[in-house]
Amino acid sequence: MNYALLVLAPPGSASRAALGFARAACARGHHLQRVFFLDRGVENGLGTAVAPQGERDLPAQWAELASEQGVELVLCVSSAIRRGLLDATEAKRHEKAAPTIAPGFTIGGLGLLVEASADCERLLTFGEGR
């Protein structure tokens, strides 16, 4: 089946679950077209974050999934730039020193979430619980 995921959760339990789900979906032979990171979910794509010792480097693990399975990792542009997540284009446009998103991620509009929702048979949301 075609899958797409919406990740609203910042790095933590729910985003780890999204990553685990994404890996397992690919392992079960599903096609995971796109993971769309929105709101605080974009923080999963912060390339300058340093994982504490003994904790998983989430951006690196997402990037690994992207390169192995061809999954698109899209950070919502408006959520991203207000949080300082910039690709080369956005860094230049807003006159910031350097891009800050992690390898494997791209920045795009909400239309990419809508497009994925129209194309997929399963769409799951991951938000961080209280």
C-alpha separations of 78 from 37, 54, 64 in Å: 11, 32, 25
Q: Please, what is the minimum distance in Å from the beta carbon of residue 20 to another protein?
A: 4
Comparing CA positions, the residue from 55, 69, 53 lying closest to residue 15 is 55
Residue placing its CB nearer to another protein in the complex, 21 or 49:
21
Active site includes 76? Answer: yes
Distance (Å, rounded) from C-alpha 30 to C-alpha 110? 23
Residue placing its CB nearer to another protein in the complex, 13 or 48:
13
Q: How many CA atoms does the CB half-sphere of 33 hold within 13 Å? A: 17
Which of these is catalytic: 42, 65, 76, 80? 76
Distance (Å, rounded) from C-alpha 11 to C-alpha 34? 18
Q: Please, what is the minimum distance in Å from the beta carbon of residue 42 to another protein?
A: 10
Give the interface with another protein as residue ranges (CB under 8 A): 1, 3, 6, 8-9, 13-14, 16-17, 20-21, 23-25, 27-28, 30, 38-40, 76, 78-79, 109-111, 113-115, 117-118, 121-130
- Catalytic residue positions, numbered: 76
